Structure formats: C-alpha cells, structure tokens
C-alpha cells in the first residue's frame, strides 16, 4: 500500500464559534491507510521527533508544551508511550495533574500549572491540565458560572503569555464515545493486570457524560486560539491516533525550526587528530 500522510490540521479547531463536539468523529481511519502502514509511519515520525528534540534541547531558546485531555479510559497513557518511544527522556517531561493539595489550593489555580511549564529547550506533556478547572470543576459546580467564565479569559491570557515568551502550545483532546469508554472500563475488569487502572469513581463520573461533553465543548470553543489551538483527535482507532499525533508533533517542531547553536570557540583551533 502506498504511503499515506495524514493531515493533523484537519482536526484543528480553527473557529470555536462554529465548533460542535457532537460533529467531531471518535473513529476515523482513511481507506487508503491500514494499520501496518500507519505503524511504520509512526515509527518514522518517532525517529524524526527524536532528532528534532535534540535540536530543540541543544538550541535552548524555545519550548514545546503539549496539553493532553480525555475522558476516563481515553488512552492518554498509551498514546504518550507510543509517541515518545525512543525519544531521549532527558529532553521531555510528563506531568500528571491530580486533585490539588492544600498548599496548591492556597494559591491561584494556575500557580501549580505554571511551575510545570517546560523550560527552554525542553518538551513538556501535561496529562490533564489547567483545563480541569473548567471541566470537572464546572461539571460538579465547585465554582460559580461567573468564575468559570472568567477562567476562560484567564487561561487564554496565560497561554498567550507563554507563547509570547517562547513556548509553543499544542492542546489535544482524545475524543472517544460513551460506548467505547464502557468497552475499555469492562476490559480493565476482565484483565487482572489492568485492575490497578480501574477506579470505581470513574463510574460515577460516567453518569455525568453529557455534562462533561458540554464542558469540553465550551472550553474548546472559548480557548482554541491562534497561539494555542485545540486539536480534537479521533481516538478509538489507536494506530490512527498515534500516527496523527506523532505527525502533529513533528510538523510543529519543524515549524519551530530549532537549530544547533554556534560554537563558543573556533573549531579550527582544535583539529580532531591533535587531541590526545
């Protein structure tokens, strides 16, 4: 089968006012692409990712932040493993945000987020993120509608500041259906080695599916901006998901155009053969 290059931009939310989560597919596999071809292309992307990550690290002037959101059992962990395999772990960091601690609650809600933003030369992956403060917080009504409304603007301001100071931002939602989630939760119970991933609280959250979809749609509509766009990726076909996200990361790093820094010495003064 001929090589098929996927188009991540087809999943970008370019106009939040026209975006409907119900219209976004959860399963998409192009007819001209099969699983084996997709896996080979993903492997090539990982190799390119590793090369570009080294350039970014050596240059030390830019950073890449990947914000990852999904419903429970949406595949965040498996996607991160699949896409970053072979990339030097020295150059990227994965951070998962849990319920805030007492110390974190004593600060503004973005305080703990800002501390984990990758420094120049690094790639950071947020497994859940500051968007929980307009998702689960909104669904459970732990904040007033006015507070949530203000947070959309605050998040946009925060992300614009990061962009203006050298951090490129990619925001990815792994989009699955309610039926697919049920299948994955059942699988966790069928397989003893997956029991550790099952949380009975997930069943309580599942009952709020409609509210979560509404909260996700609002967050994407309000916070998909030119400098920090949202990509809603069909995530039920894992080989397609991995390919399109690996392609998105590579395309973004290519656009950032990192390069090796100029040496601070004259290499001509140190011919390799002269070293002892």
**pLDDT value at residue 33:** 85
3 state DSSP class of 126: strand
pLDDT band at 1 (very low <50, low <70, confident <90, very high): very low
In a domain, 210, yes or no: yes
In a domain, 162, yes or no: yes
**pLDDT value at residue 114:** 97
* Rounded CA separation 167/119 (Å): 8
In a domain, 109, yes or no: yes
**pLDDT value at residue 28:** 84
Q: How many domains does the chain have?
A: 1
Rounded mean pLDDT, 254-269: 93
pLDDT > 90: percent of the chain: 85
Tell me: the pLDDT tens digits for 148-197? 999 999 999 999 999 999 999 999 999 999 999 999 999 999 998 999 98
- Residue (of 182, 169, 184) closest to 75 by Cα position: 184
**pLDDT value at residue 189:** 93
Which of 10-19, 171-180, 239-248 shows the lowest per-residue confidence on average (mean pLDDT)? 10-19
**pLDDT value at residue 4:** 59
In a domain, 83, yes or no: yes
**pLDDT value at residue 6:** 84
**pLDDT value at residue 241:** 96
Rounded mean pLDDT, 11-29: 91
Which of 1-5, 88-92, 225-229 shows the lowest per-residue confidence on average (mean pLDDT)? 1-5
The answer to whether 29 and 37 have CB atoms below 8 angstroms apart is no
**pLDDT value at residue 276:** 85
In a domain, 157, yes or no: yes
In a domain, 158, yes or no: yes
In a domain, 264, yes or no: no
Place of tokens 């006015």: 146
Those residues whose C-beta lies under 8 Å from the C-beta of residue 199, and which sit 6 or more positions away, are 72
Domain assignment of residue 199, given as a range: 34-126+146-254
pLDDT for residue 109 is more than 70: yes
Tell me: the pLDDT tens digits for 194-229? 999 898 988 999 999 999 999 999 999 999 999 999
The answer to whether 19 and 13 have CB atoms below 8 angstroms apart is yes
CATH number of 220's domain:
3.40.50.300
pTM recorded for the entire structure: 0.94
In a domain, 133, yes or no: no
- Tokens coding 1: 């089968």
Those residues whose C-beta lies under 8 Å from the C-beta of residue 64, and which sit 6 or more positions away, are 56, 118, 122, 123, 124, 167, 168, 169, 170, 249, 252, 253, 256
């Amino acid at each position: 089968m001929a090589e098929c290059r996927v188009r991540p931009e087809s999943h970008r939310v370019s106009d939040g006012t026209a975006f409907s989560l119900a219209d976004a597919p959860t399963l998409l596999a192009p007819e001209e692409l099969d699983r084996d071809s997709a896996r080979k292309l993903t492997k090539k992307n990982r190799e390119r990712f590793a090369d570009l990550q080294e350039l970014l690290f050596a240059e030390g002037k830019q950073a890449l932040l990947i914000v990852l959101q999904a419903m429970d059992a949406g595949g965040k962990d498996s996607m991160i493993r699949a896409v970053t395999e072979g990339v030097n772990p020295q150059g990227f960091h994965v951070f998962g945000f849990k319920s805030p601690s007492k110390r974190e609650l004593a600060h503004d809600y973005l305080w703990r987020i800002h501390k984990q933003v990758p420094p120049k030369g690094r790639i950071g992956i947020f497994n859940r993120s500051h968007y929980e403060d307009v998702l689960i917080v909104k669904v459970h009504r732990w904040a007033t509608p006015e507070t949530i409304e203000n947070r959309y603007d605050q998040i946009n301001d925060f992300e614009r500041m990061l962009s203006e100071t050298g951090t490129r931002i990619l925001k990815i939602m792994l989009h699955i259906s309610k039926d697919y989630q049920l299948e994955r939760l059942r699988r966790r119970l069928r397989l003893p080695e997956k029991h550790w991933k099952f949380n009975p609280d997930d069943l309580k959250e599942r009952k709020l599916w409609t509210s979560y979809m509404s909260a996700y749609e609002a967050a994407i509509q309000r916070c998909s901006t030119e400098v920090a766009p949202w990509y809603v990726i069909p995530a039920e076909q894992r080989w397609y998901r991995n390919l399109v996200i690996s392609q998105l990361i590579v395309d973004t790093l290519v656009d950032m155009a990192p390069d090796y820094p100029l040496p601070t010495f004259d290499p001509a003064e140190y011919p390799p053969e002269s070293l002892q």
